[in-house]
Amino acid sequence: MRLTRYFLPVLKETPADAQIASHRLMLRSAMVRQMSAGIYSWLPLGFRVLQNIEKIVHEEQVCAGAHPILMPTIQSADLWRESGRYDAYGPEMLRIKDRHDRDMLYGPTNEEMVTDIFRKAVGSYKELPQMLYHIQWKFRDEIRPRFGVMRGREFLMKDGYSFDIDKESAIHSYNRMLVSYLRTFERMGLTALPMRADTGPIGGDHSHEFLILADTGESEVFLDKSVTELRLGEREVDYADRAQLASIVEEWTTPYARTDETHDAAVFESETPEARRMTARGIEVGHIFYFGDKYSKAMKAEVAGPEGSLIPVEMGSYGIGVSRLVGALIEANHDDNGIIWPEAVAPFDVAIVNLKQGDEKADAACNELYAAFSGAGYEPIYDDREERAGAKFATMDLIGIPWRITVGPRGLKNGVVELTSRRSGESIEVAPAEAVEKYVELRRAAS
Ligand code: 5CA
C-alpha cells in the first residue's frame, strides 16, 4: 500500500475525551471513528486489524471442531419469551417494533436463536456432539459505554454454542473451547488467563473468563503468579483426546485465578503461597459457560437418547470479544510513541520509509523493496509522502508497524538500507537485495 493512496486520516492532537491509551491511539491512528455513544465505524487501518483477529479466531474455532454459521442481528422477541429472558434482560436490550407491530430486538447474544435452529434440525443423540459459532455484531445498551471499543454498545463477538447428550461430553466440549481459547490468544501474542467467574445473565454454574492483565482493566483479579507463566507453545493438541484436554485445563485452572465477584480472601490465601500471590486488573476478552439444560429445557430442544426417551440437550456457550480484543491488544502493546502490533495481527508487515521522495535512486530502491516484500507474501506500507523523515517515522511508530525499512540516498551510496524493529528500537544495516531475507530471519527470532 502506498501511503499517498491510502485513507489514513491520523490526528495530530490527542483526543481530549479518550481516557485510556488504546482509545487514544485508535482515534489518533485513524483506526476507528465514533458515530454515536459506544458505536464506531472501522476505517481501513482498524478494519485490517479486526479482520486479522477474526481470521485467527475462525481458524482456531474450526480446528477445535466448531462449524461457522451466520445468524442475523435482528431477532424475534418470541424466542426470548420462550426462554424467559425477554423480561429478564432489562434495559440493556435494544427493543424494536417492525411495521406489523411485532416485537423484535437487536441481539445481545444468541442462545435462544441457536437453540431454535438446533431443535428443528437434530432429533437423535447419534447426531451429537455439535458445535456452531458465528462472528456477528451485537448490541447491548450499556449504561456507561466507555474506553472506545473496549466497552461499546455495538460490538463484534464470536459466540459459539455446544450441544451434547450428557454432562460428561458437555464438559469435553467446554474443555475443547477452553484449550482453543488458549491457542487463539497465544497466537495473537497475548497472555489471556482463564479465571473462574460468575455467570450473570447467561446462567449456569461452571464458567471461566479469559483476562488480559492491564492496569486499565475493569475487573480486579486475584491470582497465583505461576498461571501467568504457562504457555502451550508448540504442544500438539488432539481435540478428540478427552484426557489430554482435561489435563491441560487442570494445569491452567488449578493455580488460583479468580475475578473479584467470586473472590474469597480466605480461600485465596489458603490456596496460594504468599510469594506467589498477586492482585491485578484484567480486561475480559473471552467468557465461556456450561449451563446444562437451562435453554434446552425451556425451549424443548430435546433428542432421542439411547433408550428412545427424549432428553433435553446439555449446552454451553463460548464468547470472544473480537472488537474489544483490538483495544486490549493495544493496552498490552504500546509505548509513548504509539502502538506496537504483534506480528500476527499487524495491519501491515513492514513500513518502507523513503527519506528523499523524488530522488531517483531512493524511489527506485523503495519500489524494488516493495516488490520484493510483496512477492515474498508480506504486506508493505510505503510512506511515499513528501514529508520530513521525522514525520514519517512518527506516523509509522504511531500506527505500530512492527518493522521499518529506511531508505535514503546516503545509505544507498554505501549499498545499505536500515531495518528497524518497532518493539526493540534496534536497527541493522543490510543490502537492499538481502532485506527480505534478513527481515524473515529477525521476525522469526523475535516471535
Ligand atoms: N453468550 C455468551 C457467550 S457466547 C456471552 O454473551 N458472553 S459475554 O456476555 O461474556 O460476552 C462475551 C464477550 O464479549 C466478553 O467476554 C467480552 O470480551 C465481549 N463483550 C461483552 N460486552 C461487550 C461490550 N459492551 N463491548 C465490547 N465487548 C464486549
- Is 152 near ligand 1, meaning CB less than 6 Å away? yes
Which helix (H) or strand (E) element contains residue 392? helix 389-399
Residue 292 belongs to domain with CATH number: 3.30.930.10
Given 336, 361, 393, the domain boundary residue is 336
Alpha-carbon separation of residue 165 from 171, 208, 313 (angstroms): 11, 22, 5
Residues 77 and 128 in one domain: yes
Q: Where are the beta strands (DSSP E) in 197-256?
A: 206-213, 219-224
Which are the contacts of 295, defined by CB distance < 8 A and separation ≥ 6?
Answer: 83, 111, 112, 115, 301, 315
Alpha-carbon separation of residue 125 from 38, 120, 130 (angstroms): 43, 14, 10
Residues 371 and 325 in one domain: no
| Domain-located, residue 42 | yes
Residues 224 and 353 in one domain: no
In this structure, the residue with its CA closest to atom 19 of ligand 1 is 321
Residues 300 and 372 in one domain: no
Residue 400 belongs to domain with CATH number: 3.40.50.800
Residues 356 and 424 in one domain: yes
Q: Which three cell numbers stand for residue 250?
A: 487442570
Distance 322 CA to ligand 1 centre (A): 9
| Domain-located, residue 341 | no
Residues 245 and 393 in one domain: no
**Of 179, 188, 208, residue with least CA distance to 196:** 208
| Domain-located, residue 343 | no
| Domain-located, residue 72 | yes
User: How is residue 127 annotated by DSSP?
Assistant: G
Looking at the structure of the chain, the number of domains it has is 2
Distance 426 CA to ligand 1 centre (A): 38
Distance 187 CA to ligand 1 centre (A): 20
How confident is the prediction along the chain (447 residues), in pLDDT tens digits per residue?
Answer: 999 999 999 999 888 889 999 999 999 999 999 999 999 999 999 999 999 999 999 999 999 999 999 999 999 999 999 999 999 999 999 999 999 999 999 999 999 999 999 999 999 999 999 999 999 999 999 999 999 999 999 999 999 999 999 999 999 999 999 999 999 999 999 999 999 887 676 666 789 999 999 888 888 889 999 999 999 999 999 999 999 999 999 999 988 888 876 667 788 888 899 999 999 999 999 999 999 999 999 999 999 999 999 999 999 999 999 999 999 999 999 999 999 999 999 999 999 999 999 999 999 999 999 999 999 999 999 999 999 999 999 999 999 999 999 999 999 999 999 999 999 999 999 999 999 999 999 999 987
Residues 318 and 239 in one domain: yes
| Domain-located, residue 253 | yes
Given 283, 303, 336, the domain boundary residue is 336
Q: What is the dihedral of CA 212, 214, 220, 223, to 10 degrees?
A: 60
- Is 352 near ligand 1, meaning CB less than 6 Å away? no
Residues 302 and 383 in one domain: no
Distance 147 CA to ligand 1 centre (A): 15
Give the mutation target among 157, 158, 188 for probing the ligand 1 site: most ligand atoms within 8 A of CB.
157
| Domain-located, residue 97 | yes
Supply the pLDDT for residue 263: 67
| Residues 105, 69: Cα–Cα separation, whole Å | 20
Supply the pLDDT for residue 262: 61
- Is 353 near ligand 1, meaning CB less than 6 Å away? no
Residues 325 and 403 in one domain: no
- Is 184 near ligand 1, meaning CB less than 6 Å away? no
Pairing of the two strands 350-354 and 380-383: parallel
Neighbours of 429 (CB within 10 A): 13
| Domain-located, residue 2 | no
Distance 271 CA to ligand 1 centre (A): 29
| Domain-located, residue 265 | yes
Supply the pLDDT for residue 240: 97
Given 278, 306, 336, the domain boundary residue is 336
Which are the contacts of 432, defined by CB distance < 8 A and separation ≥ 6?
Answer: 365, 368, 369, 407, 412, 415, 416, 417
User: How is residue 379 annotated by DSSP?
Assistant: -
In this structure, the residue with its CA closest to atom 3 of ligand 1 is 319
Q: Which three cell numbers stand for residue 98?
A: 417492525
In this structure, the residue with its CA closest to atom 12 of ligand 1 is 319
Distance 171 CA to ligand 1 centre (A): 21
Residues 186 and 128 in one domain: yes
Supply the pLDDT for residue 220: 87
Residues 191 and 75 in one domain: yes
Residues 318 and 370 in one domain: no
| Residues 217, 209: Cα–Cα separation, whole Å | 13
Expressed as residue numbers, the domain containing 228 is: 7-336
Distance 139 CA to ligand 1 centre (A): 10
